[in-house]
Amino acid sequence: MLYLPPDAENKQEKSTVNWPDRFQQLAKTAKHPGLKRYYEAGIASADTAIDDVPMVAVDFETTGMNPDKHGIISIAVVPMTLGRIDMSQAQQWVVKPRRLLTEESVTIHGITHSEIEQAPDLAEIIDPLLNAVAGKVWVVHYNGIERPFLQGAFEERLNETIHFPLIDTMEIEARFHRQKRSLWDKLTGKKPVSIRLADSRERYNLPFYAPHDAMTDALACGELLQAQIAHHFSPETAIGDIWLP
Residue 2 lies in a domain: no
Residue 51 lies in a domain: yes
Count: domains in the chain: 1
Please give the Cα distance from 96 to 183 (Å, whole number): 47
CB 241, CB 49: distance < 8 Å: no
pLDDT mean values, one per 10 residues, the chain (245 residues): 46 72 98 98 98 98 87 96 98 86 51 76 97 98 95 97 98 85 64 92 96 94 98 97 95
pTM for this predicted structure: 0.88
Residue 48 lies in a domain: yes
Please give the Cα distance from 117 to 101 (Å, whole number): 11
Please give the Cα distance from 157 to 160 (Å, whole number): 8
Our measurement of the distance from residue 101's CA atom to the centroid of its chain's CA atoms, rounded to an integer in Å, reads 21
Please give the Cα distance from 152 to 13 (Å, whole number): 22
Quote the domain boundaries for residue 204: 19-241
Tell me, what amino acid is at 40?
A: E
Which conformational region is residue 111 in: left (phi greater than 0), alpha (psi within -120 to 50 degrees), or beta? beta
Residue 112 lies in a domain: yes
Residue 55 lies in a domain: yes
Residue 3 lies in a domain: no
Tell me, what amino acid is at 68?
A: D
Q: Which CATH number is 218's domain given? A: 3.30.420.10
pLDDT the model gives residue 98? 82
Residue 24 lies in a domain: yes
Strand order in the sheet with 91-94: 91-94, 72-80, 55-62, 137-140, 166-168
